[in-house]
Amino acid sequence: MEVFSSVQGEGPYVGTSTLFVRLGGCDLRCAWCDSPHTWRPAPHARFETGRGSGTFRERPNPVALEDVLAAAEALDVAAHRFVSLTGGEPLLQPTAVAALAQGLRARGPRILLETHGLAVDALAEVVAHVDVVSMDWKLASDVRRASDPAGSRAAPFHAAHARFLAVARRAPEVVVKLVVTPASEDAELEEAWRRVAEVDPGIPVVLQPVTPCGDVKASVGVERLLALAARAESGLRDVRIIPQTHVQIGAL
């Protein structure tokens, strides 16, 4: 859907120069999603015409791998510390992710895969080509599957995330991100970090207070965040509170 140059706006590599390659399509519906335009494949892909310019040229979809690599070259991909393969949900297209990761990694940047953390078979296909798996741990209080009836609550995602995390650990680095909203329930948060600790208590876990967007009108107060982090730290060695930052500087 998009190729553009910016800085990483969230997670442990926040602030690092990053070239984003955004793939279309998603099978979840997060209440706080900041990119609902990615839920369905778009008729056109947008390629930024200069680093940070915010201006784009369009190409009809589907675009060829060579066109994406050329768009990345035009944005001086080698000058970035990371390429973020993001979405939508990139693992709905594992063949494309593997090809993009190999083609862009060869140009120098590390490959960071941003994923909802559920498509375990697809991850197994691509994990050898990825340097950092940045996976969400979705909470059923705020997330439903696109196939769920409107208004229904999704079944918990914990077991699927645990299976995904076990495969993600084959990558050099894995980070788990939990978006915390006013609706997030203590029991599901505690279950999430208990499951992470079962795999490895040293895995970095980021508590990301939701950025108000869509139906989410408010974020989470610092008192609640600090209390949650303290509880998470009783079982995990690397817990961090990191809000999204790119919105503060007006970056894409």
Among 38, 134, 181, 184, binds ligand SF4 (CB under 6 A): 38
Q: How many CB atoms lie within 10 A of CB 34?
A: 17
Q: Amino acid identity, residue 88? A: G
Please say which residue, 30 or 174, places its beta carbon nearer to ligand SF4. Answer: 30
Count, residues near ligand SF4 per rule CB under 6 A: 11
DSSP-based three-state secondary structure for 54 = coil
Region for 117 from its dihedrals, namely left if φ exceeds 0, alpha if ψ lies in -120 to 50, beta otherwise: left
Span near ligand SF4 by CB under 6 A; candidates 33-41, 51-59, 63-71, 120-128: 33-41
Among 21, 26, 101, 119, binds ligand SF4 (CB under 6 A): 26
| 29, 51, 163, 194: which one binds ligand SF4 (CB under 6 A) | 29
Q: Is 30 in the site for ligand SF4 (CB under 6 A)?
A: yes
Helices (runs of H) and strands (runs of E) counted in the chain: 6, 12
Residues comprising the chain, all counted: 252
123 part of the interface to ligand SF4, by CB under 6 A: no
Return the amino acid letter for 80: H
Q: Which is nearer to ligand SF4, 69 or 176 (CB)?
A: 176
Stated as kind and residue range, the H or E segment containing 67 is helix 65-74
Return the range that interacts with ligand SF4 (CB under 6 A); candidates 26-34, 71-79, 184-192, 220-228.
Answer: 26-34
Considering only residues 55-94, where is the footprint of ligand SF4 by CB under 6 A? 87-89
How many Cβ atoms from other residues are within 10 Å of residue 106's Cβ? 10
Instruction: Assess 96 for contact with ligand SF4 (CB under 6 A).
Output: no
145 binds ligand SF4 (CB under 6 A): no
Question: Of 23, 28, 113, 175, which one interacts with ligand SF4 (CB under 6 A)?
Answer: 28
Task: Scan for tokens 């494949």, then name that residue.
Answer: 41
* Encoded amino acid at 46, one letter: R
**CB within 8 Å of 13: residues ≥ 6 apart:** 81, 82, 112, 132
Which residues of this chain interact with ligand SF4, rule CB under 6 A? 26, 28-30, 33, 35, 38, 87-89, 116
